[in-house]
Structure 1
Amino acid sequence: MHDYHVHTTYSDGAFLREMVDAAADAGLDGVGIADHCNVSPDPEAERFKRALGFNLDMTYERRREAIEEIREDPAVGLDVFDAVEMDYDPDHEAAIADFLDGAGFDYAIGSVHELDGANVHTRAHFADKPADEREALVDRYFEKLVALIDAELFAIAAHPDLIERNPHLRGFATEDHYAAVVEAFRNSRTVPEINAGRLLDDYGEFHPAPDFLDRLVDAGLRVSVGTDSHEPGVIAPRIDEIEAELEWRGLAPVRPEEIAEN
């Protein structure tokens, strides 16, 4: 199995070699180094990048050299992919496309992380908003997700219902939202991700949540695998859970050659 989505110190994860070694210890055939990246020209996005130290748009070539060194090490017994997790906003699609065209990653993962000028994980930003406003924001999240899929810029759409991690945005997703996303995936090269980033934490579910994943599977869509790990110790237990879920559902995840074709 291949885990297409882990992070290193080139964004908000652990040391590159530690993540690769943990992936090998977990019995994986390959691991995708998909650090966060944002190329939005928006001043607030620039401030956020500086605050968190997310600079992959400037450091990806240095990281690529480190990945090449690991690939050349005969002791490394798995594929290591040079990937990226791009923040997506339809207003900045041209800037994203230009960056990806020039960067030449093995593949790109697209993510919708921002709503109403805040990261969707930021509970305090959404906590005091009335229910109808939060419902409208979830509508906007799914509009952005469909736009991401329609953009044809990404091989993978990460954690398709990320809003469920935030209890103040949870429970507003509807069958109409799911249907719109399924239809977009049907007509796109982009594949949905089974993401275990919060499975063993407070949220306790995969992304997509069970009902949403049911709709994707019923539509015959292929899926990719992402532990979304930021530290080495969580790769193996998350992979164990993903393997069990795939076996229970009778699913075979996409292969590297299918990702590369995307």
Structure 2
Amino acid sequence: MHHDYHVHSTYSDGYFIEFMATAAAEAGLSGIGIADHCVVSEDPAEDRYRREMGFNLDLTYERRRDAIERLRDRVDVRLFDAVELDYEPRDEAAIASFLEEAEFDYAIGSVHDLEDVNVHVRDYFADKSERERRALVDEYFEKLVALAESELFAIAAHPDLVERNPALRGLATRDHYDRAAAAFAESRTVPELNAGRVLDDYGALHPAPGFLDALADHGVAVAVGTDSHRPAAIEPRVERIDAELAERGLEPVRVMDVPDAS
């Protein structure tokens, strides 16, 4: 693992860029992507959510870009100026316009919401019936396929995020995985091997082994991201990703070498 394409800084819900970069270098990485959360939408509710959560990179990316540029000569790792955007099919035009304007090194797309509720909100989904929860997992993968087909992003982050929620965990099927893998096979968007929850109670990588098998069967490679929010998380997450790559005999995609990745 040479590059970690997905960490966060104080420009969303992470830590200072210099400390994240230093930790990446100490973990043996040669590149790190500062991919802060961002919400771009014409929906007033989404705009309120963005302001409440502080995911305002569309307003601050030039300031952050200046900080990254000034840090490049002070850290022993290549810094990428990236973004992690919440994806909703209804917001494609707004997202495309913002990405064209901002000209990041690359963009990561994430499906975070179902019924306009973040999938991490356990109580909301726990109150649903099994039929409703299965329908929500269907909706999640429909959005993931749409994300791949949109061609807006270089990377699709944690492509089975529903597994983090116990109420939705285990409901994805091989059919879900095959449909998503087929979409990625036809897209420039690369799914991410994500270590954002390997150190907590979930304790596993995204995507799940069955989804990784489906991606392999469709000839789809993966990019890698630790999804770290604090410096101390980077090294153990890198070690976990490296072990998975070695076990599967995988060489991750170097996103910055992919044509039209920015």
TM-score w.r.t. length of structure 1 = 0.97
Match for 1:88: what amino acid? Y
d(CA) in 1 for partners of 2:15 and 2:241? 21
Query: In structure 1, what is the Cα distance between the partners aligned to 2:256 and 2:116?
Result: 37
Query: Could you say which residue in structure 1 is the equivalent of 2:114?
Result: 115
Whether 2:132 is the aligned partner of 1:133: answer yes
Contact 1:161 1:209 in 2 (8 A): yes
- Residue 28 of structure 2 corresponds to which residue in structure 1? 27
C-alpha distance in structure 1 between counterparts of 2:185 and 2:217, whole Å = 12
Deviation at 1:234, TM superposition (A): 0.4
CA distance in 1, matches of 2:17, 2:152: 25
For structure 2, the 5+ residue unaligned runs are: none
Give a deviation string over 1:164-220, Cα, whole Å, max 9, x none.
Answer: 000011111011111110110110000110000001211111100111111112322
- Equivalent-residue separation in structure 2 for 1:162 and 1:256 (angstroms): 21
Q: Is the 8 A contact 2:154 2:255 kept in 1?
A: no
Mapped to 1, the partners of 2:58 and 2:202 lie a distance apart of 30
Relative to structure 1, the CA distance from residue 57 to residue 8 in structure 2 (aligned partners, 3 Å threshold; closer, same or farther) is: same
Question: What is residue 212 of structure 1 aligned with on the other side?
Answer: 211
Partners of 1:31 and 1:259 in 2: how far apart?
Answer: 16
Length, aligned pairs only: 260
1:261 and 1:166 mapped to 2: Cα distance? 34
| SS of equivalent to 2:214 | helix
Does residue 39 of the first structure (1) align with residue 40 of the second (2)? Answer: yes
Say if 2:254 is the partner of 1:255. Answer: yes
Matches within 5 A, 1:87-102: 87-102=86-101
Structure 1 residue matching 2:4: 3-state secondary structure: strand
- Note the 1:136-215 alignment, pairs <5 A: 136-215=135-214
Mapped contact 1:4–1:225 kept (Cα < 8 A): yes
2:73 maps to which residue?
A: 72
CA contact (8 A) 1:107 1:259 kept: no
Residue 260 of structure 1 deviates from its aligned partner by: 5.7
Runs of 4+ in structure 1 displaced over 6 angstroms? none
Post-superposition CA distance 1:28-84 (Å, at most 9, x none): 0100000000011212211211211111010000000000001133xx221100000
SS state at 1:261 partner: coil
Structure 1 gaps, min length 5: none
2:53 maps to 1:55: no
RMSD of aligned residue pairs (Cα, Å): 1.0
Give me the TM-score of the superposition, normalised by structure 2: 0.97
Distance 1:102 1:235 in 2: 31
CA distance in 1, matches of 2:187, 2:68: 29
Aligned partners of 1:106 and 1:260 also within 8 Å? no
Q: Distance in 1 between matches of 2:256 and 2:26?
A: 23
Which amino acid counterpart does residue 93 of structure 2 have in structure 1? A
Structure 2: distance between partners of 1:106 and 1:211:
31
